């Protein structure tokens, strides 16, 4: 029932030489190197089966998000995903249809997000007290070099691909007392960004080809993740407030009814899984990227980190152990 749903409607990708059914999958590594990453979603930590506003998380939602967040990690290195393996822990009472929907969500995300070289190579199923979904992803650079967090240089352009703030706005709606049935289409779209994010998978390889000096996936918030890139590169990322304001414009459907400042979501909200990248000054940014600031050298009174128009940014973002 499950394996046929993981076949993506045809044979596995070229990198998956042997898929589900044996004790291990067999995958190819054409240039002798493999990108690898792993992410886990745990019930009541990363998602709720029923949210405060009445929204019920489907297996499709969890499967989609499990695929999307892992595909995004490979994208952030400038690579393309080739294979996924899935470890699924379930309480005994989990409906079979929920698990079937999860498999459908995995394959739908792979297909619709454009990860055309990727397939589900296998996985594991176990019993536990809550639902836990771990996905490991393999990827390839096709002979090229990975784009790391540590290559940004003073004078570079700071650019963004994808969105920021939308998933956080959607989360705020889910955790609010505004009934899901009363949400307008624009508000539901924000909820969908939280439940089914759409990372810009074509942007990572394009950035690498264009000469990106550093890059990372934004999963924990623009400022928090920006600080990580800044620390790895020993630079300051200075954000342009006018560009940031443009990213608040689509958040009013949530901010108006929740009386929240949308800039908080832009700066501190994660899970859109956009890309933050730096490029040498003077180049044409690749398709999908827009400039949102600049890279500067640390000064006597400013350590490596994130500033907004020269002032240290205060937003923190998501902390897996504190939030």
* pLDDT in the model for residue 311: 93
Rounded Cα–Cα distance for residues 223 and 107 (Å): 32
* pLDDT in the model for residue 5: 63
Q: What is the pTM of this model?
A: 0.92
Alpha carbon 67 to chain centroid, angstroms: 9
Question: Binning pLDDT at 50, 70 and 90, where does residue 317 land?
Answer: low
* pLDDT in the model for residue 320: 52
Strand (E) or helix (H) holding 217: strand 214-218
* pLDDT in the model for residue 19: 80
Higher-pLDDT residue of 166, 3? 166
pLDDT in tens, 31-41: 889 999 999 99
pLDDT in tens, 203-220: 999 999 999 999 999 999
- DSSP H helices, 134-261, are 166-174, 185-195, 203-210, 222-233, 241-246, 252-258
Q: What is the mean pLDDT of residues 173-190?
A: 98
* pLDDT in the model for residue 321: 45
* pLDDT in the model for residue 28: 86
**Phi-psi region at 310: left, alpha or beta (left = phi > 0; alpha = psi -120 to 50):** left
pLDDT in tens, 45-92: 999 999 999 999 999 999 999 999 999 999 999 999 999 999 999 999
Q: Looking up tokens 């998501």, which residue turns up?
A: 318
* pLDDT in the model for residue 9: 47
Q: Do 104 and 142 contact (CB within 8 A), yes or no? A: no
pLDDT exceeds 80 at position 161? yes
Higher-pLDDT residue of 13, 131? 131
Q: Which of 10-24, 164-178, 202-216 has the lowest mean pLDDT?
A: 10-24
Which residue in 95, 76, 99 sits closest to 86, CA to CA? Answer: 99
Share of the chain above pLDDT 70, in %: 93
* pLDDT in the model for residue 220: 95
The number of beta carbons lying within 10 Å of the beta carbon of residue 117 is 17
* pLDDT in the model for residue 235: 98
Rounded Cα–Cα distance for residues 237 and 310 (Å): 9
Question: Binning pLDDT at 50, 70 and 90, where does residue 20 land?
Answer: confident
* pLDDT in the model for residue 301: 79
Higher-pLDDT residue of 60, 6? 60
The per-residue pLDDT of the chain, averaged, comes to 93
């Amino acid at each position: 029932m499950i394996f046929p749903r993981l076949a993506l409607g045809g044979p596995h990708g070229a990198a998956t030489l042997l898929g589900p059914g044996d004790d291990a999958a067999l995958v190819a590594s054409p240039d002798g190197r493999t990108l690898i990453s792993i992410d886990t979603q745990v019930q009541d930590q990363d998602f709720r089966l029923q949210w405060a506003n009445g929204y019920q998380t489907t297996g499709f939602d969890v499967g989609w998000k499990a695929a999307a967040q892992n595909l995004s990690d490979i994208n952030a290195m400038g690579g393309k995903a080739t294979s996924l393996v899935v470890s699924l822990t379930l309480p005994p009472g989990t409906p079979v249809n929920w698990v079937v929907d999860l498999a459908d969500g995995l394959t739908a995300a792979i297909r619709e997000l454009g990860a055309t070289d990727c397939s589900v190579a296998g996985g594991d199923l176990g019993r536990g007290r809550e639902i836990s979904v771990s996905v490991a992803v393999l990827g390839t650079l096709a002979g090229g070099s990975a784009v790391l967090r540590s290559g940004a240089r003073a004078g570079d352009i700071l650019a963004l691909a994808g969105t920021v703030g939308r998933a956080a706005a959607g989360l705020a709606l889910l955790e609010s007392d505004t009934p899901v049935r009363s949400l307008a289409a624009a508000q539901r779209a924000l909820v969908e960004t939280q439940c089914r994010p759409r990372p810009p998978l074509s942007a990572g390889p394009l950035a690498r080809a264009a000469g990106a000096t550093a890059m990372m996936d934004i999963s924990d918030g623009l400022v928090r993740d920006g600080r990580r890139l800044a620390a790895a590169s020993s630079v300051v990322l200075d954000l342009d407030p006018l560009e940031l304001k443009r990213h608040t414009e689509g958040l009013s459907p949530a901010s108006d009814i929740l009386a929240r400042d949308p800039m908080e979501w832009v700066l501190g909200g994660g899970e859109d899984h956009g890309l933050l990248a730096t490029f040498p000054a003077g180049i044409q940014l690749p398709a999908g990227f827009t400039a949102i600031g600049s890279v500067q050298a640390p000064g006597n009174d400013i350590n490596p980190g994130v500033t907004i128009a020269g002032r240290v940014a205060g937003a923190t973002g998501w902390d897996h152990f504190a939030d």
